[in-house]
Structure 1
Amino acid sequence: MAMYLVEHPDEFHQPGAIKHALGVPSAGAVSEVLKKMTAAGHAVHHTGPHRFRITQAGIDAAGTMPAAAPRPTSGSGGGRPGRRGPVTRPNGEQYFPRRLAGATDVDVLRRLRDKRIPVLLYGPPGTGKTAMVEAAFDDLLTITGTGDTVVEDFLGNFIPLPEGGYEFVYGPLVQAMRHGRALLIDDATLIPPKVLAVLYPAMDGRRVIHITGYRNERVEAVDGFYVIAGHNPGVHGAVLTEALASRFDVHIEVTTDWDLARHLGVPAAAITAAIALNADADAGKVTWAPQLRELLGFTRVRKTLGLPTAVANLAGRAPLDDRPAVVAALTAAFGTPVTPLTLGKQR
């Protein structure tokens, strides 16, 4: 019940409505729990009619609670642990929110945006950082960072017109500031630090930048403007400077959710191998291990070309230096020798 209130922190709820939402048999029992939460300072109670709302203390306390036991569903034999419904991303794919700070990751990002608290998401490529942000914000603009990213990629540049001449087209940072949109700097730590510096005045108390290449135009951020950055530690060329890290008040590590992988139909043996390889990566034995992106790709290949080909393909995706360890982990998990997918001579 506490987790339900956490997911709707700004609303007052009547016991009967909570009973209906949770599918429990007694509104009276719900009311008694709510009264105990109120007595503990975890909820506030208004009368006429009786309704309750969770407090910040309640949200904090809920974050320390163990996960709720799964509720049986018809024909499920006990079912899976309950999840909040999936969110559709712009590309049409579904994102399944994950628990974070007593709520879901999507809810937390939205709450932080409301308070103008910037977030740095970090973790291996393929763990769902970009998908999470796309699910959280339907007004998202994105800059994908590389070593070749320049200031103009943030601010805009002149483009030639068909009839001759040039027109200045504003970049994603300017658009996000003027229209109050969220801006994701994906792979931010691949961008040269001198280029990233263009972002800092927009993120501090000034919330103002100047387009020096276009009439020194002043751009001021309106309400709703928000910056999120993604960082892949260990990726060649990715450097998290103190100047960048200090601009983000919240740093969230994003790892692969193995339960979600099972929920999405990834075979158990593939998950077993991935978990073992991730443990090796944490110990410094390998530099690469499959994440959710690779596991979902594995599942698609399996459905199209069959299991042996999918396993061979997953082995072939590993960097050459790590391939022997990946082959060994896949061989142990699937119980059959594995060879990377190779096109050889005609038979």
Structure 2
Amino acid sequence: MDPTASAATAPTTGGGKRPGYLYHMVAAYLSSHPDQVFTVGEITKALSVPSTGAVFEALKKMAKAGYATHQTNPHRFQVTQAGIDAAGTMPPPAPHTPRQGRGTSRRQPVTRPNGDLYFPRKLAGATDVDVLRRLRDKRIPVLLYGPPGTGKTALVEAAFPDLLTVAGTGDTVVEDFLGNFIPLPDGGFEFIYGPLVAAMREGRALLVDDATLIAPKVLAVLYPAMDGRRVISIPGYRNERVEATEGFYVIAGHNPGVHGAILTEALASRFDVHIEVTTDWDLARHLGVPRPAVEAAITLNTDLAAGRVGWAPQLRELLGFTRVTKTLGSAAAVSNLVGRAPIDDREQVLAALKAQFGAEITPLTLGKQR
């Protein structure tokens, strides 16, 4: 029997719609493979649905409820016993972000949906988390920019527990925002609303990650939702009208210098606040990154700002360095960090690491058989 077939028995509402149909499919598929860990793409392919983004949101909803584990780099999910016991039932709606007023800035860590801690940083006389929440209260959209790996996504996840996400690529299409039809076991089709529609109707925050990798004509779907109208239509589904409810908010991420990332004037002008996000070196030390690695990264980031190199390790790479050090030792971690650098920048990265670690370093490479 098809493990997803039971989802077809979910309660229906007026018009024959099945609320959470895709969620039931995803939950049933994971529950039928309790010992396996899946990527988002593997589940999307197994279920023969067109929207990876919609599957990702269902999986994150399961993880947030404790129904699945969530690993990152890449995103991978596995059902928990609680998820099996839930038998595909929807978790309760995510609570809205508590509204924060001035003078309530907090320095304690904030837990992200994947369980990792985010350590707030100073911004505009408060913390970055509280500033983003205040800007959301006033409907002031924000563009976060900086090199990949500096913590832009982590900051947004910490600030907004009710977050939905569209992961931008050159292949992102309008349907990834608005939704698409998926096949049903009985041979019919059902329209599954996309993250933009869900965020507008449920009053949730929407992160457009790597927004500047998305084609401008696709991004244009956001503009009427962000301006004074706060209304969109869905051309592929009866031209349905969608109005934003209180709490709806759009925030975007931009990685300058990344191939294909283009910040157009039309996009930049939609965001009233632009915030640069850089690596917090003190935080890196606090999280246990070895001092020589931090110093080498600072040197390389100075060269990056001056245009002498095109790549420098950020917090993501430094945390990866620390994990590899604990697993394989310092020498292997240093060699691996050299290998992660683009070929054009490898010589400068090698020199910076040699200056701090003082050892002969080569990229991590397989040797001869023992």
TM-score bracket for this pair, using the shorter chain length: 0.7 to 0.9
Give the equivalent residue in structure 2 for 1:146. Answer: 169
Residue aligned with 1:251, SS: strand
| Residue number among 232, 249, 260 corresponding to 1:209 in the alignment | 232
Residue aligned with 2:349, SS: helix
Amino acid at match of 1:327: L
Residue aligned with 2:233, SS: strand
Residue aligned with 2:136, SS: helix
Give the equivalent residue in structure 2 for 1:126. Answer: 149
Give the equivalent residue in structure 1 for 2:102. Answer: 9
Q: Percent identity?
A: 81
| Residue number among 208, 214, 224 corresponding to 1:191 in the alignment | 214
Equivalent residue runs for 1:321-332 within 5 Å: 321-332=344-355
| Residue number among 249, 267, 271 corresponding to 1:244 in the alignment | 267
CA drift of 1:10 comes to 6.2
Amino acid at match of 1:192: A
Amino acid at match of 1:211: I
In the alignment, is the contact (CA less than 8 A) between 2:101 and 2:134 conserved in 1? no
* 2:201 is the counterpart of 1:108: no
Equivalent residue runs for 1:65-84 within 5 Å: 84=107
Give the equivalent residue in structure 2 for 1:79. Answer: none
RMSD over aligned Cα atoms:
1.3
Instruction: Kindly provide the CA deviation profile for residues 95-126 of structure 1, in whole angstroms up to 9, marking residues without a partner as x.
Output: 00000000000000000000000000000000
Q: Which runs of 4+ in 1 moved over 6 A?
A: none
Amino acid at match of 1:121: L
Give the equivalent residue in structure 2 for 1:89. Answer: 112
TM-score by length of 2: 0.72
Residue aligned with 2:312, SS: coil
Residue aligned with 1:9, SS: coil
Give the equivalent residue in structure 2 for 1:176. Answer: 199
| Residue number among 290, 293, 306 corresponding to 1:270 in the alignment | 293
CA drift of 1:278 comes to 0.5
TM-score by length of 1: 0.77
CA drift of 1:9 comes to 2.4
Instruction: Kindly provide the CA deviation profile for residues 272-291 of structure 1, in whole angstroms up to 9, marking residues without a partner as x.
Output: 10001011111111111000
Distance 1:336 1:160 in 2: 58
More deviation in 113-122 or 279-288?
279-288
Aligned residues: 271
CA drift of 1:344 comes to 2.0
Give the equivalent residue in structure 1 for 2:78. Answer: none
Distance 2:271 2:193 in 1: 25
List runs of 5+ in structure 2 lacking aligned partners. 1-99
Amino acid at match of 1:172: P
Larger Rg: 1 or 2?
1
